[in-house]
Structure 1
Amino acid sequence: KQLTPRSRAAVADLAARGTVVALASGRMYRHCMAPQVEALGLATPCICYNGAVILDPTNGQILSERPIAPELVTPVIDFAAARGLTLNLYRDDVLYIQRPTRWSELYVARTGAQPVFREDLYDWFRGSASTKMLLLDEPAEIEVLLREWQARVDGQLYVTISDPEYLEFMDPSATKGWALRRLCEHLGIDPAESAAFGDARNDLPLLEAAGYAVAMANARPELQAVADEIAPSNDEDGVAQVLERWLD
């Protein structure tokens, strides 16, 4: 997911007029969000890892971090090892994967991430906290795994789907919605004065927390149900169309 030139221009215009603009993503900062932040010239802290990290791009300072506790990381590692699934583990803004697979290649191609491969990863990482975890598989299987893991963890982890092939695990408090409220507090902004755009399942807490919620036309029904406005789809530069209207 990349900002189009039209969207970049609209966001830059909005920021130039004094509006506080922040990016929120499920992705890591290094390699993935950093190029977008730099291209836009943004100095506002950004929400990374689905809300597990809020980072100041001007100095790299982490303003908030909610990693997954080690005792909750181990069962997911054991599950991935037993099923032979590709598992992304994150620590200190570094992505670790056990070995290259077609799923790791897909993830790298989509995000620009530069993983560190370690054959001994699971033994090496066991007992450590992880910023988030991400399992990759076919979309139909990811839907099955979502229901299985939501029942298994019973609220001890926040489990969601971002892209159809990604099952993401975070600390229960690490949502984009929680991070938006925390960022607003840091900036001295009333969350009721905020606006947010979203299209994926992991964007639902963000839209619920924002004062004005915009769901894309390609968004899932549950996002459109909580939205104040439905924008044209991502393929139609929907974010840019809404921002351009606001800027008129």
Structure 2
Amino acid sequence: MIAKYRLLALDMDGTLLNDEQIITPETVKWIQKAVDAGVHVCLSTGRAFQSALPYAEQLGLQTPMVTVNGSEVWRAPHEVYRRSLMDPQLVSQMYSIAKKYDIWFWAYSLDQVHKQDNWDGDVSGREWLKFGYHTEDDELRHKLLLLLQDMGGLEITNSSPHNLEINPLGVNKATGVEQVCQLLGINMSEVVAVGDSLNDLAVIQAAGLGVAMGNAQKTVKQEADAVVASNNEDGIAEVIQKYVLSEVATSGGGRRGK
């Protein structure tokens, strides 16, 4: 088989992984077919590197990775290429908001994940990558969003309908995958990007072909070039079969003349 595209950028939770946090044998098989056809497969995730690495190792990937929603780009596993840090003062402000409204939160520094049950809010002496909130109270989450927007300097997305994920302004999976393209000497038009949440939206819009999973949030489906089966139905295998590999090479390209 011949590859239509040169890079497959895969979100992990809700996309590559099923709801049991497993990459199914069928998906593994088709990712291997893509790799064998010369396609670079890049994990593009909100997870920290150490959390994503076992899955890259399971797939045998030595290709670049995008972690923490684009705050880190890896030339190869264990070899960081670029890291975008968050202003500690903004982290401190977001911690104060979490405490004021008694909202579950987490924060990624280089050395660990901090949560409301293991962190006192001291931002000194650490390098910060991402902050997140989780609440099923829609009104409270909207209030948080407005407060964050007023702060400025933040890139605000989500990885589920019930959370908010915050990175430094201008840092997202699209900027991360663009850096990967530079490393590999390819163009964004040669990328297939797949995801399910708002933290995938920028890269789905920027890629040559943007694909939403069947379980994706409504906005993501609306902006994607194609929608495939859910993460529990081997949607990634469908992406590779339908859009990445072909018996005869054809010129790829998505909507809007990308």
Settle same-fold status: TM greater than 0.5.
Answer: yes
**For residues 190 and 134 of structure 1, do their structure 2 counterparts lie closer, same or farther at Cα, with a shift above 3 Å needed?**
same
Q: Does 1:15 align with 2:12?
A: no
Higher relative contact order structure (alpha carbons within 8 Å, sequence separation ≥ 6): 2
Contact persistence 2:75–2:180 (CA under 8 A): no
What's the counterpart of residue 147 of structure 2? 149
What's the counterpart of residue 48 of structure 2? 28
Q: Does 1:231 align with 2:228?
A: yes
Q: Does 1:62 align with 2:80?
A: yes
Show CA shifts across 1:69-113 (max 9, x none). 1121111011112222222121115212241xxxxxxxxxxxxxx
What's the counterpart of residue 205 of structure 1? 202
% same residue: 28
The one-letter code sitting in structure 1 at the alignment partner of 2:221 is Q
**For residues 139 and 4 of structure 1, do their structure 2 counterparts lie closer, same or farther at Cα, with a shift above 3 Å needed?**
farther
State how many pairs are aligned.
225
Contact persistence 1:71–1:127 (CA under 8 A): no
Question: In 2, distance between residues paired with 1:132 and 1:95?
Answer: 10
**Residue ranges of structure 1 left out of the alignment (5+ in a row):** 100-116
Question: In 1, distance between residues paired with 2:230 and 2:164?
Answer: 23
What's the counterpart of residue 25 of structure 2? 5
What's the counterpart of residue 92 of structure 1? 110
Q: Could you tell me how far 1:50 is from its partner in structure 2?
A: 0.5
Question: In 2, distance between residues paired with 1:28 and 1:142?
Answer: 27
Show CA shifts across 1:88-140 (max 9, x none). 121115212241xxxxxxxxxxxxxxxxx34xx31x32575410011122252
What's the counterpart of residue 47 of structure 1? 66
Compute the TM-score of the two structures, normalised by the length of structure 1: 0.83
Report the 3-state secondary structure (helix = DSSP H, G, I; strand = E; otherwise coil) of the residue aligned with 1:96. Answer: strand
Report the 3-state secondary structure (helix = DSSP H, G, I; strand = E; otherwise coil) of the residue aligned with 2:212. Answer: strand
Of 184-193 and 161-170, the range deviating more from structure 2: 161-170
Identify, as 1 or 2, the structure richer in helix. Answer: 1
Question: In 2, distance between residues paired with 1:138 and 1:145?
Answer: 13
Contact persistence 1:157–1:169 (CA under 8 A): yes
RMSD, aligned CA:
2.0
Q: Could you tell me how far 1:34 is from its partner in structure 2?
A: 0.9
Contact persistence 2:130–2:165 (CA under 8 A): yes
Question: In 1, distance between residues paired with 2:227 and 2:187?
Answer: 23
**Residue ranges of structure 2 left out of the alignment (5+ in a row):** 1-12, 18-22, 247-258
Identify, as 1 or 2, the structure richer in strand. Answer: 2
Contact persistence 1:70–1:130 (CA under 8 A): yes
